[in-house]
Amino acid sequence: MATTIIQAEYQSLIFEIRGYKVMIDTDLAALYETETKVLKQQVRRNIDRFPQDFMFQLAKEEKAQLVTNCDRLSNLKHSSVLPMAFTEQGVAMLSSVLRSKKAIKINIEIMRTFAVYRAMLIEDKSLSKEINALDEKINEVFRYMLDKIDALHQDKATPRKKIGYKDYQNE
């Protein structure tokens, strides 16, 4: 039960930026119980381990949008340094750069969280397909019902013979 709570916390740390599911350096530093500066320093010392699809630096606009959408990152608002974003592979690579036992333990949990996140996305897509199929069936039923209602209105549109007293003066 405790791991699901931890995974739920980690899932809130995952963002989608540039089409990648990423975690921001400040969140990772907090999880690894190190300073963001130290984490970035280790990454820069081992930069050849982090290609663009493992880690990238956010643009000013991306940083502004992230700070606007996420209250816990408000401390980045006035920082002149642009944050780094790490993909799942980048987070895995961090474990080889940050070698503490805490880093390894947290890394394992984060990898599990990414796996759960991926499974949820796949499940969401299959659920979306089912919903679309049901929606199409409902639309067919509504079209059928509307056609039947229109047919009934067509029948009522034909003039009927008047019933009741005749008005001889207007004839």
- Would you list the DSSP string of 48-106? GG--TTTEEEPPHHHHHHHHHH-GGGGGGTT-SSPPEEEEHHHHHHHHHHS-SHHHHHH
User: Residue 9 is encoded by which pair of tokens?
Assistant: 């916390």
User: Residue 21 is encoded by which pair of tokens?
Assistant: 């599911």
pLDDT at 157: 59
pLDDT at 155: 64
User: Residue 118 is encoded by which pair of tokens?
Assistant: 């991926």
Instruction: Give the residues of the chain that fall short of pLDDT 70.
Output: 1-11, 153, 155-160, 168, 170-171
Contact between residue 91 and residue 112 where contact means Cβ atoms under 8 Å apart: no
Amino acid identity at 89 = Q
How many of the other CB atoms lie within 10 Å of CB of 28? Answer: 25
Give the global pTM.
0.59
Contact between residue 128 and residue 121 where contact means Cβ atoms under 8 Å apart: no
Handedness of CA 24, 29, 32, 33 (dihedral sign): negative
pLDDT at 161: 73
pLDDT at 56: 92
pLDDT at 2: 37
From CA 103, how far away is CA 100, in angstroms rounded? 5
Q: pLDDT tens digits for 16-58?
A: 888 888 989 888 888 888 888 988 998 899 898 888 888 999 9
pLDDT at 10: 62
pLDDT at 137: 80
Give CA separation, 161 vs 152, 154, 164, 168, in Å.
18, 17, 10, 16
